[in-house]
Amino acid sequence: MNEARTILIRYDEIGLKGRNRRFFENCLLENIRQAFQGIHGIRFRMPRGRVMIDTSASHAEECARRLHFVPGVASFSVGFPMQPDFDALAALGVQLIEPHLKEGGELKFCVRTQRTDKGFYKTSQEVNFEVGSRIMGALASKGLTVNINEAEFVLEIEISHKECVVFDNRVAGIRGLPVGSSGSVLSLLSGGIDSPVSSFLMMRRGCKVDYIFFDNQTFLGRGGYDKVLRLSRSLNRYQTGGNVYVVPFQDMQVAIRDHCSSENRVVLYRRMMYRIALAVAEKHKYLGLVTGESLGQVASQTLENLAAVSCVVPISVFRPLIGMDKQEIITHARKIGTYEISIEPQPDCCSIFMPPRPATKSRIEKLERDENKFPWQELMQAAIETMEVIEPESATQVETR
Amino acid sequence: MIYLDNAATTPMDPRVTETVEQSMRRDFANSGTVYRIGLDAKQRIEKAAEEIAEALRLPSTHRLIFTSGGSESNNLFIKGLCFPDKKTAYLGLEHPSVLATLNYFGIFGNEPVRLLEFQRQGRMSLEAVAFLKKERVRLLCLSHVNNELGTVNDPEPLIAALRKESAKTRIFLDGVQAIGKLSLSPEVWPGLAGYSISAHKIHGPKGIGLLAYDSRLSLTPQIHGGKQQCGVRSGTLPVPLILGLAKTIQLAVEEVGETQTHLKKLNRHLIQGLKSLEDSQSDLNIRFNSLTEEDASRQSPAIVNFSFPPVEGEVLLHHLEEKEIYVGLGSACSAHSKEPSKILTGIGLTEEEARCSLRVSFSRQNTLEEVDIFLQEFSRAYQSLYPTFCKKPAGK
């Protein structure tokens, strides 16, 4: 086997797109390029319906590892580029199959060929036969049998007009759409299990996600802030450069706690968070807010309370977890690698901020009456003015507002 | 910065840093090898061990085992001696590395005996001794100095009482918070089955500690391997850390008199300061959880623990943090759980009193001026937080 490898990337959902397909493809290609930064000697190609990457055996493994983090990739295979010569193809096939054969055992196999160049002088079926029969000639005595429907080993051959690629693996990607193809959203990140999952799910639908965190260091210390930066670094593996807006929220929380009816506190905090997020979204042209709410999970996530917070912001609020139960959310969180960070203990709204009995059905008139009891507009302005934008990778401020 | 959380850890003494750094550059060889540079490393370790034994005035019956720190020393001795079926007892106010180790025995049906009913002001009353005999306890595990309260279990009367009334009960002391603050009389060693020490609590490096134990007892190893340290604790020995530990212990013991005098001064200043704050602020009520007496056989002067309901300790801690003043909430291990400290509720505090508390812990590097600034900022933070906490739960 020589050193050259070709990685073949499939993206089935983009393939369904009509006239703007080119846009999605370019977006995916750009994201893969970004993901491969620092790996040298790579060549990208884009024959119809595929992204092909030429690299070497030594880099292929790292490329494959990084492809697991690129939304839009449906599956990929690391294969061997070669001339479409049946003897050479069969010899490579024998080399790949042999280690799987067990003494005295049987191995079912088949060859599957796909031609992107229909001008090739043999049909796919004929190629299957030519290569398959040569491999059987060499390995039939060692227990290899042909079985097209129940093959345990599939040797795949893709033939284009100049060359062909042989591979024996298909690795599932995370599917979805390439990040950036759907525009930008602002995700309310808390440090819990849910909001990182909802951020990820929006990335997988093609959104570039920036994060907004409501911080209360005066009362709770820096632990929550550090955790949110770690979560956003972890999430940024699936995109490039999501930043975190850090909003000092202690004065607002104290004011609500001291002036408003205790059962409404949580919804009032959330209404203010939504309003501040909206102000940021309008200024920076985000097309929606994202939250980790799941219907009925806690008191603030009843239909009534969701309505009572949504109605303060004239912008789309996306809640990708709305129909999931906690277990499903945890399964996602484990899969994307944020769960271990989320479950680290963190001082959350300690007993002074959480009401003993939060209302499950807030009435909007009552909330508005509460909001007349403290100068929320001024507090909101002050919070936005002292907000910082942090790049999570370097934990440094990007710009001041 | 004003650092008042020295029971959690301490900044390194520059004299120790120098020793460690020099050794890190020089002593890379494995002390288990047979060529010269390995033998040199081995000699340095032996010399360090001798220096430690001398500083602690350890009798020849007792052996030193180097470990990664206090938690490992506690695990090694308790499990190594008593696992799985020897009867153990504890007061119920120990550090988690003692509590959790003993509770682990419970999984195997060997429930440790909890003596909380015999605690008086955070210390074990000698009335417990008769009970130990009745329960046929083989090992009694106690903190020498309680890590949250600073209260002292004085080994001398305890050993005498055990000898008299329950001769088959041996005693193990977690000495992590004691060394360098209290002087350990050489007369107590014969009565101590085991004693643990950690370097980083006394201005030494993290990652190194010590178990001193009576070598006539046989400990089952907890880490198996190359049979270093008589097979009791395998693993290549960290020469620089061991030299650092020796230097740390030497300094701690040499300076213990001076340190204690200084700590007492700080302690007195803080307690008086808090009392006069209480007098001048009608809404401030302080309850001292540590003892306010100066008898070092009852209370370590390094720790002052007090409650001030209704203001929550953790919130006050963060307010002090903004002024770069660092204090403790209790053991860092229990700071991770949302439950209030088991030590504080163990000595009879309500959950609220336990939650509304702070631990100030001094080292010889702190000054009276720092205590003054702490008092001033504590008072300021308390006043600003009091209104928020006092009307809990807020009505409509």
A92 and A212 belong to one structural domain:
no
Chain A residues whose beta carbon lies within 8 Å of the beta carbon of residue B389: 352
A156 and A190 within one domain? no
* A1 within 8 A of A160, measured Cβ to Cβ: no
**Residue A178 within any structural domain of the chain:** no
Cβ–Cβ under 8 Å, residues A115 and A159: yes
Residues of A within 8 A of B322 (CB-CB) are: 217-218
Residue whose entry in the numeric block shows the structure tokens 């309260």: B149
For residue B388, give the nearest of A221, A254, A261 by CB distance: A254
For the CA atoms of B141, B142, B147, B149, the dihedral, rounded to the nearest 10 degrees, stands at 150
Residues A67 and A87 in one domain: yes
B311 is a domain residue: yes
Residues A233, A164 within the same domain:
no
Q: Please determine, for residue B337, whether its predicted confidence score (pLDDT) is greater than 70.
A: no
Cα B195 from Cα B70, distance rounded (Å)? 10
Residue A140, in any domain of the structure = yes
Residue after which a domain boundary falls, among A172, A202, A230: A172
Question: Is B394–A351 a contact, with Cβ atoms under 8 angstroms apart?
Answer: no
> Tens of pLDDT along A301-311?
999 999 999 99
Residue at which a domain ends, from A145, A172, A199:
A172
What distances in angstroms separate CA B340 from CA A214, A220, A353, B73, one per listed residue?
26, 16, 18, 26
The residues, ordered by sequence, that sit 6+ positions from B360 with a Cβ below 8 Å of its Cβ are B4, B270, B303, B304, B305, B306, B327, B328, B374
Mean per-residue pLDDT for B44-61? 96
Contact present, A7 and A78 (Cβ < 8 Å): yes
Determine the residue among B312, B315, B323, B377 to mutate to test chain A binding: the one whose Cβ has the most chain A Cβ atoms within 10 Å.
B315
Preceding amide of B393 cis, omega within 30:
yes
pLDDT bucket at A46, cuts 50 / 70 / 90:
confident
Nearest-angstrom CA–CA distance, B123 and B154: 9
Backbone dihedral region of B225: left (phi > 0), alpha (psi from -120 to 50 degrees) or beta? Answer: left
At residue A298 the predicted structure's pLDDT band, cuts being 50, 70 and 90, is confident
Taking CB atoms and an 8 Å cutoff, what residues of chain B touch A350?
312, 314-315
Residue B259 burial (CB count, 10 A): 24
Region A56-63: mean pLDDT is 93
3-class secondary structure, B92: coil
Query: B-chain residues within 8 Å CB-CB of A258?
Result: 387-388, 391, 394
The domain boundary residue, chosen from B205, B226, B254: B254
- Shared domain check, A28 and A162: yes
**3-state percent breakdown (helix, strand, coil) of chain B, nearest 5:** 45, 15, 40
Across the interface, whether the CB atoms of B318 and A350 are under 8 A apart is answered no
pLDDT for A350: 61
Q: CB–CB of A269/A252 below 8 Å?
A: yes
In this prediction, residues B292-301 reach a mean pLDDT of: 94
Of A217, A261, A356, the CB nearest to B396: A261
Burial class (CB in 10 A: 0-12, 13-18, 19+), A76: buried
Is the CB of residue B371 less than 8 Å from the CB of residue B325? no
Per the domain annotation, does B170 fall within a domain?
Answer: yes
Which of the residues B82, B141, B230, B333 is marked catalytic? B333
Last residue of a domain, one of B213, B232, B254: B254
Q: Which of A112, A141, A172 is the last residue of a domain?
A: A172
In the block, residue with structure tokens 């680290």? A344
Q: Is B132 found in the same domain as B64?
A: yes
- Average pLDDT (A219-229) is 91
User: Is residue B344 domain-shared with residue B224, that is, in the same domain?
Assistant: no
Query: Long-range contacts of range A298-301, CB-CB < 8 Å, 24 or more positions apart?
Result: A299/A266, A299/A358, A299/A359, A299/A360, A300/A266, A300/A267, A300/A270, A300/A358
CATH number for A364: 3.40.50.620
Do B238 and B260 sit in the same domain of this protein?
no
Nearest CB to A347; choose among B314, B388, B393? B314
- Mean pLDDT across the stretch B279-302? 95
Q: What is the mean pLDDT of residues B255-274?
A: 97
Residue B396 lies in a domain: no
List chain B residues with CB under 8 Å of A351. Answer: 312, 355, 392
* B328 phi/psi in degrees, rounded to 5: -110, 160
- Residue contacts between A and B (CB atoms, under 8 Å): 48
On the question of pLDDT at B332 being above 60, the answer is: no
Q: What pTM was computed for the model?
A: 0.84
Cβ–Cβ < 8 Å for B95, B74: yes
- Are both B217 and B314 inside the same structural domain? no
Does some domain include residue B214? yes
Among the partner-chain residues A217, A345, A356, the one whose CB lies closest to the CB of B318 is A217
Q: Is B394 within a domain?
A: no
Task: Report residue B133: phi and psi, to 5°.
Answer: -65, -45
Alpha helical stretches, state H, B356-394: 368-390
| Number of domains present in the structure of chain B | 2
The answer to whether residue A177 is domain-embedded is no
In angstroms, the CA B154 to CA B145 distance is 9
Q: Is the pLDDT of residue B4 over 70?
A: yes
Same domain, B112 and B191: yes
8 Å CB contact of B392 and A352:
yes
Beta strands (DSSP E) in A257-346 are 289-290, 317-318
Across the strands, what pairs with B90?
Answer: B114, B141
Residue type, A65: R
Cβ contact, residue pair A258, B317, below 8 Å:
no
Residues B366, B385: one domain?
yes
Phi, psi dihedral angles at B10 (to 5 degrees): -130, 155
Confidence of residue A181 (pLDDT cuts 50, 70, 90): very high
CA distances from B75 to A240, B169, B196, B384 (A): 46, 19, 10, 44
- Are the CB atoms for B149 and B119 separated by under 8 Å? no
DSSP structural state of residue B181:
T
- Kindly state the DSSP code that residue B151 receives in the 8-state scheme: B
pLDDT at A296 over 80: yes
Q: Answer left, alpha or beta for residue A191, where phi above 0 means left and psi between -120 and 50 means alpha.
A: left
Instruction: Give percent of chain A with pLDDT exceeding 70.
Output: 97
Query: Alpha carbon of A84 to those of A164, A218, B90, B393: distances in Å?
Result: 6, 68, 77, 79
The dihedral sign for the CA sequence B18, B21, B26, B28: positive
pLDDT of B262 over the 50 cut: yes
Is B23 in the same domain as B164? Answer: yes
- Nearest by Cα to A311 from A263, A259, A267: A267
- Check whether residue A274 and residue A339 sit in a common domain: yes
Tally of domains within chain A? 2
Measured CA distances, A68 to A71, A174, A195 (Å)? 8, 7, 21
Residues A234 and A381 in one domain: yes
Same domain, A168 and A192: no
Judge whether A338 lies within some domain.
Answer: yes
**B242 CB neighbour count, 10 Å cutoff:** 28
C-alpha A214, offset from chain centre: 23
Q: What is the mean pLDDT of chain A?
A: 92
Query: DSSP states of A25-43 as a string?
Result: HHHHHHHHHHHTTT--S-E
Find out whether B336 and A345 touch, Cβ atoms under 8 Å. yes
Q: Assess whether A114 and A189 both reside in one domain.
A: no
| Intra-chain end-to-end CA distance of chain B, in Å | 42
Please state, for a pLDDT cut of 70, what percent of chain B lies above it: 96
* pLDDT value at B393 more than 70: no
Confidence of residue A299 (pLDDT cuts 50, 70, 90): confident
Q: E-strand spans in chain B?
A: 2-4, 62-67, 88-90, 113-114, 119-120, 123-124, 139-143, 170-174, 194-198, 209-214, 287-288, 303-307, 325-327, 357-361
Question: Is the Cβ pair A352, B319 closer than 8 Å?
Answer: no
> In CATH, what number is assigned to the domain containing residue A66?
3.30.2130.30
Domain that residue A371 falls in: 183-400
Distance of CA B267 to the CA centre of its chain: 18
B136-157 burial code (b ≥16 CB/10 A, e <16): ebbbbbbbbbbbbbbbbbbbee
pLDDT tens per residue, range A82-116: 998 999 999 999 999 999 998 888 999 999 999 88
Question: Rounded to 10 degrees, what is the CA torsion of A391, A394, A397, B1?
Answer: 140
Asked if A221 and B314 come within 8 Å (Cβ–Cβ), the reply is: yes
* Residue B222, helix vs strand vs coil: coil
The yes-or-no verdict on residue A401 having pLDDT over 50 is: no
B333 is catalytic: yes
Phi, psi of B158 (to 5 degrees): -65, -45
**Which pair of tokens denotes residue A87?**
């003897």
Quick one: B235 and B314 in the same domain? no
Which residues on B lie below 8 Å from A356 (Cβ)? 393
Q: Are residues B56 and B21 in the same domain?
A: yes
Residue A390: partners with Cβ closer than 8 Å, 6 or more residues away: A229, A243, A244, A245, A246, A396, A397, A398
* Distances in whole angstroms, Cα of residue B353 to Cα of each of A139, A214, B30, B49: 78, 29, 52, 44
Contact between chains at B396 and A345 (C-beta distance less than 8 A): no
Mean pLDDT in chain B? 94
Query: Which pLDDT score, from 0 to 100, does residue B330 have?
Result: 61
Residue B279 to residue B292: CA distance in whole angstroms:
17
Angle among Cα B29, B33, B36 to the nearest 5 degrees reads 70
Q: Which residues pair with B305 in a beta bridge?
A: B359
pLDDT of residue B48: 97
CATH number at residue B111: 3.40.640.10
Residues B236 and B279 in one domain: no
Residues A200 and A324 in one domain: yes
- Taking 50 as the threshold, does the pLDDT of residue B335 lie above it? no
| A330 and A205 fall within a common domain | yes
How much is the pLDDT for B173?
98
Roughly how many angstroms between the first and final C-alpha of chain A, as a whole number? 57
Q: Are B144 and B153 in contact (CB under 8 A)?
A: yes
- Contact: A351, B315; criterion CB under 8 Å: no
**Does residue B395 lie within any of the structural domains?**
no
Residues A76 and A204 in one domain: no
Among chain A residues, CA nearest to B396: A261
Query: Residue B181 belongs to what domain range?
Result: 14-254
Q: Which of the residue ranges A41-55, A219-233, B112-126 would you say has the lowest mean pLDDT?
A: A41-55
Question: Which CATH number characterizes residue B316's domain?
Answer: 3.90.1150.10
Average confidence (pLDDT) over B265-287? 96
Residues B263 and B217 in one domain: no
Whether pLDDT at A51 is above 80: yes
CB A200 within 8 A of CB A71: no
Average pLDDT over residues A265-271: 94
Asked whether residue B333 carries a pLDDT value surpassing 50, the answer given is no
Whether residue B181 is contained in a domain is answered as yes
Considering the domain architecture, whether residues B246 and B260 belong to the same structural domain is answered as no
Mark which of B220, B237, B254 sits at the end of a domain. Answer: B254
Mean pLDDT over residues B352-364, rounded? 94
**Hey, are the CB atoms on A257 and B338 less than 8 Å from each other?**
no
B334: chain A residues, CB-CB within 8 Å: none
How far apart CA A270 and CA A252 sit, in angstroms, is 11
Closest-CA distance of chain B to residue A352, Å: 7
pLDDT higher than threshold 50 for residue B127: yes
